[in-house]
Amino acid sequence: MENIALRVEELLSKMTVREKIGQLNQPETPTEKTIEEFKALVRKGEVGSILMSVGATAGNDAQGAISNEFYNEIQRIAVEESPNGIPILFGRDVIHGHHTVFPIPLGMAASFNDELVKKSYSDIASEASAESVHWTFTPMLDLARDPRWGRIIEGTGEDPYVGARVAESVVKGLQGENLSDKGNMIACAKHYIGYGASEGGRDYHRTEITDYSLFNYYLPAFRSAVKAGVKTVMSSFNDISGQPITSSSYYLTDILRGKLGFDGFVVSDYDAVIQLKKQGVARDNADCAKMALNAGLDMDMHDFCYLDNLEKLIESGEVSEETLNESVRRILTVKMEKGLFENPYCYGGEYDKIVHLKDAEDLATESIVLLKNENNLLPLSKSANISLVGPYATEKRSLLGSWCIDGKTDGMDNLLDIMRKTCEGKLYYSCGYGLGWDSSAKNSYLSDVVVMALGESWSCTGEARAVSDISLPPEQIALIKKIKSTGKKIVGILFCGRPIAMQEISDDLDAIIYAWHPGSCGAQAVCNVLFGDVSPSGKLPVTLPKLATHIPLYYNVTSSGRPVNCYYNENPANCYVDSVPTPCYPFGFGLSYTEFKYGETKIDNDKISLDEVLNGKKIKVSVSLENIGDFDAKETVQIYLRTPVAKWMRPLRELKGYQKVSLNKGEKTEIIFEIGAEELGYYSPQGEFIVEKGIREIYVGENCLIENKKEITIC
Ligand code: GLC
């Protein structure tokens, strides 16, 4: 590190102000029309990084394939023809896969399998880095409670602890042990901060987040990413209570660097600097550039606002050259840590695509959540006569989800393909609509069971894709009703990105598999579970509400003087007069084919002094877990905490740990959690971590609604 600091200073001392500003400039990939003008900029040292895509919503629009030759040529100009030969950093949205597409991040979070998520991002990094990508804009760590927001699919759901665990897995998977090793990529924790609280679930909308909520709900995942060594952070479009993040030194410097200790660099979101005018805090582009750089925003994505305005601002003294130098230092340091100066070019890379596809299938399989299984209808026998009905039986593109820029459906199987390979009985298929209804009805009568392949289009999820109605499309709901009228048992497979409102369908389906948008191998993953080759082990990282009108509905809610939130079914009469907003399926929920027997929760000492806690002593909480069913299976054991009395109101449940264990039928094990200051404390509105005396309620089990309470006292 010492060597890098010296190299950075030496380089900095040779750079003109304009070249320094050039390092802060991140244009997007040039087109044929602009390539020569672009190369001229590179030659002048005025391009520090390239956003390897075209357009403001890269996840929604088809992007061109990557050509190493193209990027090597641009890099050659930077290295050989620019004043100081500083290599360019190539960044791309490799969000949940490159050519091999893994489940959408919300699905990955449902796997609760940290090791598999980490391994998957190591696979992803090896694929993308073989195609000139040094830096990806992931993990997305926006805590979200409103499924109307299309970007809920990109994150880890409604819980800060799950966000923190996933953040660590993704950062370590992408950056590896040594960032400069071939096959590793620079990670980017985004969108800092609070974007997931966009009002009404409408993308890019305003947010209201108190510091108390910020420190306890929205920051933990970013704190974890920083602790895991993330090298970059992307600032978010939103404002918090009238203060745009893009121009806020409070959030970008005081908190991100002061409280979290982040020492990498911050990149803006697309055009976010120049959009400060639209947010009504800047008069002109010069104002935008001055406010953002002075706030601590180092790199300007796409709008050229820094390159066009900072030189004059430095000449006039409105921005100090030392402020500029600080941002340049951060960017040069990351480039040197990546080894870019030693290896600026890309000549491909080796990786085993078969292994990646297997990892993608395993992660998709483990992300699947079994919500309902009446009379153990599932798993199905491969020799059963099955009627497969519904529009997602032949769907491929939506299974890849949003933000799969380099993932294609070529060579991908859909559910019908896999079922045709798997089923040994009669398999009838019909889309179920229009004229297809007659054959669907006939097939259903001829079959032992109906499998309905339903879901949500990828194009209703992701950026700028908020919806006001989170139900399944009406034609799919109607189809369920029709199939129900045949009297046959129905298995519903839901290929949904976001959480959907379940009330209208959950009663009519005898079994429900929530498959998310599961990626390239999603259809195989669903069949692995459908026919019992693997017992489902996913758990919900986000609440599934009965109705969209119950939003927001999240498990880690605080109580109130007159309990009205109903999540824990307290005082339903006080909720809506026309419906009770209890969750249809709660956070942490997911069924298995086997039966797990939880023993009594044991606590090694239920009284501990505050001093002991502050000095690092921990409480051991243990529970026996036995697989008393007929299937080998995995279970995610969760430990929740409640602080019934505190200086500030605390949530009714807080997830403080989880362990996913594999138990063959008949096997038994003991799960041990250690509870210490980190689990027992929380942040004050001033961001001070505090542990208070008093009682803590401990709940250990299979989801957030477990009632087997134990108590410990901090005295
Ligand atoms: C988009 C997204 C961000 C993405 C960036 C580059 O607007 O908000 O997540 O990384 O621009 O495509």
Q: Which atom of ligand 1 sits closest to the CA of residue 95?
A: 10
Q: Which atom of ligand 1 sits closest to the CA of residue 56?
A: 7
pLDDT band, residue 572 (cuts 50/70/90): confident
Catalytic residue among 123, 203, 269, 287: 269
Beta strand extents in 126-231 (DSSP E only): 135-136, 188-192
113-127, 190-204, 280-294, 565-579: least confident range: 565-579
In the prediction, which pLDDT does 2 show? 58
Asked if residues 371 and 513 have their Cβ atoms less than 8 Å apart, the reply is yes
In the prediction, which pLDDT does 326 show? 98
Dist. CA 665 → ligand 1 center (Å): 46
Task: Round to whole Å and give the CA distance between 231 and 91.
Answer: 13
In the prediction, which pLDDT does 574 show? 74
Asked if residues 206 and 251 have their Cβ atoms less than 8 Å apart, the reply is no
Asked if residues 620 and 698 have their Cβ atoms less than 8 Å apart, the reply is no
Hey, is 333 helix, strand or coil?
A: helix
Query: Which residues' Cβ are closer than 6 Å to ligand 1?
Result: 51, 53, 56-58, 93, 137, 190, 269-270, 463
Q: For a ligand 1 pocket test, name from 96, 137, 237 the mutation site with the most ligand atoms within 8 angstroms of its C-beta.
A: 137
Q: Residue 181: is its pLDDT beyond 90?
A: yes
CATH number given to 353-574: 3.40.50.1700
Strand partners, 431: none
In the CATH hierarchy, which top-level class contains the domain 596-714?
mainly beta
User: What is the per-residue pLDDT across 266-291, written as a single tens digit (0 to 9) for each?
Assistant: 999 999 999 999 999 999 999 999 99
Task: Round to whole Å and give the CA distance between 367 and 370.
Answer: 10
Residue with CA at minimum distance from ligand 1 atom 12: 58
User: Rounded to 10 degrees, what is the CA torsion of 145, 147, 152, 158?
Assistant: 30
In the prediction, which pLDDT does 439 show? 85
Instruction: Work out the percent of the chain whose per-residue pLDDT is above 90.
Output: 95
Task: Round to whole Å and give the CA distance between 286 and 290.
Answer: 6
pLDDT band, residue 534 (cuts 50/70/90): very high
Dist. CA 296 → ligand 1 center (Å): 19
Dist. CA 137 → ligand 1 center (Å): 8
Task: Give the mean model confidence (pLDDT) for residues 570-594.
Answer: 91
Q: For a ligand 1 pocket test, name from 53, 61, 93 the mutation site with the most ligand atoms within 8 angstroms of its C-beta.
A: 93
In the prediction, which pLDDT does 25 show? 98
- CA distances in angstroms from 516 to 137, 155, 494, listed in the order given: 22, 13, 7
User: What is the per-residue pLDDT across 641-685, written as a single tens digit (0 to 9) for each?
Assistant: 999 999 999 999 999 999 999 999 999 999 999 999 999 999 999
Asked if residues 458 and 398 have their Cβ atoms less than 8 Å apart, the reply is yes
Identify whether 263 is a catalytic site residue.
no
Around Cβ 407, how many Cβ atoms within 10 Å?
A: 23
The model scores a pTM over 0.75 = yes
Around Cβ 179, how many Cβ atoms within 10 Å?
A: 18
Specify the pairing of strand 602-603 against strand 619-627.
antiparallel
Asked if residues 691 and 614 have their Cβ atoms less than 8 Å apart, the reply is yes
Around Cβ 111, how many Cβ atoms within 10 Å?
A: 29
Hey, is 1 helix, strand or coil?
A: coil
Hey, is 170 helix, strand or coil?
A: helix
In the prediction, which pLDDT does 227 show? 98
Mark 188-222 as b/e (b = at least 16 C-beta within 10 Å).
bbbbbbbbbbbeebbbbbbbebebbbbbbbbbbbb
pLDDT band, residue 313 (cuts 50/70/90): very high
Q: Dihedral of CA 406/410/413/415: which sign?
A: positive
Task: Round to whole Å and give the CA distance between 128 and 613.
Answer: 45
Mean pLDDT of all residues in the chain? 97
Task: Give the mean model confidence (pLDDT) for residues 315-327.
Answer: 98
119 residue type, one letter = K
Task: Round to whole Å and give the CA distance between 294 and 25.
Answer: 16
Mark 324-335 as b/e (b = at least 16 C-beta within 10 Å).
bbebbbbbbbbb
pLDDT band, residue 372 (cuts 50/70/90): very high
Q: Residue 560: is its pLDDT beyond 90?
A: no
Q: Residue 404: is its pLDDT beyond 90?
A: yes
Q: Residue 375: is its pLDDT beyond 80?
A: yes
Provide φ and ψ at 246, rounded to 5°: -55, -30
Q: For a ligand 1 pocket test, name from 136, 185, 269 the mutation site with the most ligand atoms within 8 angstroms of its C-beta.
A: 269
Task: Round to whole Å and give the CA distance between 92 and 100.
Answer: 15
Dist. CA 21 → ligand 1 center (Å): 22
Cα–chain center distance at 224: 14
Dist. CA 684 → ligand 1 center (Å): 32
Task: Round to whole Å and give the CA distance between 555 and 653.
Answer: 7
User: What is the per-residue pLDDT across 410-456, written as a single tens digit (0 to 9) for each?
Assistant: 999 999 999 999 999 999 999 888 888 888 888 888 999 999 999 99
Residue with CA at minimum distance from ligand 1 atom 11: 270
Beta strand extents in 318-405 (DSSP E only): 369-373, 386-389
Around Cβ 60, how many Cβ atoms within 10 Å?
A: 17
Dist. CA 264 → ligand 1 center (Å): 19
Asked if residues 185 and 168 have their Cβ atoms less than 8 Å apart, the reply is no
Q: Which residue has the tokens 């926006």?
A: 142
Task: Give the mean model confidence (pLDDT) for residues 49-73.
Answer: 95
Hey, is 541 helix, strand or coil?
A: coil
Task: Round to whole Å and give the CA distance between 345 and 713.
Answer: 59
Instruction: Work out the percent of the chain whose per-residue pLDDT is above 70.
Output: 99
Angle at 577 between CA 573 and CA 579, to 5 degrees: 90
Q: Which residue has the tokens 């004059």?
A: 312
Residue with CA at minimum distance from ligand 1 atom 8: 269
Cα–chain center distance at 163: 8
Q: Where are the domains of the chain?
A: 353-574, 596-714
Axis-axis angle for helices 522-530, 415-422 (nearest 10): 40
Provide φ and ψ at 407, rounded to 5°: -95, 130
In the prediction, which pLDDT does 1 show? 54
Task: Round to whole Å and give the CA distance between 414 and 525.
Answer: 11
Specify the pairing of strand 709-714 against strand 607-608.
parallel
